[in-house]
A and B are shown apart, each in its own frame.
Chain A
Amino acid sequence: IAGITQAPTSQILAAGRRMTLRCTQDMRHNAMYWYRQDLGLGLRLIHYSNTAGTTGKGEVPDGYSVSRANTDDFPLTLASAVPSQTSVYFCASSDEYSGGTPGELFFGEGSRLTVL
């Protein structure tokens, strides 16, 4: 593993199903983020974590939950998927809390989710 790994790369999901998007980083970055990217809109922050054991809500948290049990993993769960959650989801990390440039994010390759 090098950088940030997301899984799955792509998924089609029936509405009402539960889904967890996985994100793992090997850079030992303290901060991690989940964004969604929709056509014509900027990246929107769903949830974030400044350090292991803590999480916070972003701009569009409803319908999503996260956990940060350790430094490396930051899974995003959709408890009951709805069609409006069809999007590309990006996980990102930064080391701004340990000397890195604030705002310099390292992104995973994205997970394309379609909810029918």
Chain B
Amino acid sequence: GQNIDQPTEMTATEGAIVQINCTYQTSGFNGLFWYQQHAGEAPTFLSYNVLDGLEEKGRFSSFLSRSKGYSYLLLKELQMKDSASYLCASMDSNYQLIWGAGTKLIIKP
């Protein structure tokens, strides 16, 4: 079956660094996606990895290891506005996104 696993909730301190892990198992693979979703709002696209390695975009970076079925999202210099849920999704062989349940990130001052 297809499955995406990510922690339910994480807590971090303002100004610190946090890494949100995601493991995936899908029928085929056409990319790994991270979205941010603030409470009561729509998800917004953060990053896309299709090749192994690290993609950096400002304070956010995303890593992919296809051989391990593993990705992480790294958030640096955390700000209070980063409090949100972070959704991991894998694109399968039919180009459909399979979504994890999301990781709720709580930032404390």
Q: Do A and B come from one complex?
A: yes
The answer to whether B95 and A42 touch across the interface, beta carbons within 8 angstroms, is no
Question: Chain B contact residues (Cβ within 8 angstroms of A): what range?
Answer: 20 to 34
Are A104 and B99 also in contact (CB < 8 A) when A42-B4, A42-B87, A43-B87 are? no
The 4 A-B pairs with the shortest beta carbon distances in the complex, nearest first, are A42-B99, A107-B42, A43-B99, A104-B45
Q: Please state if B101 and A105 are interface contacts (CB–CB under 8 Å).
A: no
**Contact mask B11-25 → A, CB, 8 Å, 1/0?**
000000000000000
Within 8 A of B (CB), among A77-116: 90, 96, 101-110
Give the bracket for the number of chain A residues in contact with chain B. Answer: 10 to 19
**Interchain CB contact under 8 A, B89 and A103:** yes
Q: How far is the CA of A52 from the CA of B41 in the complex (A)?
A: 27
A30 CB to nearest chain B CB (Å): 13
A41, CB-defined interface residue at 8 Å: yes
Which residues 14-54 of B sit at the A interface, judged by CB distance below 8 A?
A: 30-31, 33, 35, 41-45, 48
Chain A 25-69 interface mask (CB, 8 Å, partner B; 1/0): 000000000000000111111000000000000100000000000
A interface with B by C-beta (< 8 Å)? 40-45, 58, 90, 96, 101-110
**B97: Cβ under 8 A from any A Cβ:** yes
- Given contacts A42-B4, A42-B87, A42-B102, whether A103 and B42 have CB atoms under 8 Å apart is no
Given that A43-B87, A101-B48, A102-B95 are known contacts, is A90 also in contact with B101, CB under 8 Å in the complex? Answer: no
Q: Is the Cβ of A42 less than 8 Å from the Cβ of B43?
A: no
In the bound assembly, the distance between CA atoms of A31 and B45 in angstroms comes to: 16
Which A residue sits closest to B40, measured CB to CB?
A: A110
A65 CB → nearest B CB, Å: 19
In the assembled complex, the CB of A111 is this many whole angstroms from the nearest CB of chain B, namely: 11
Whether A90 pairs with B42 at a CB distance below 8 angstroms is yes
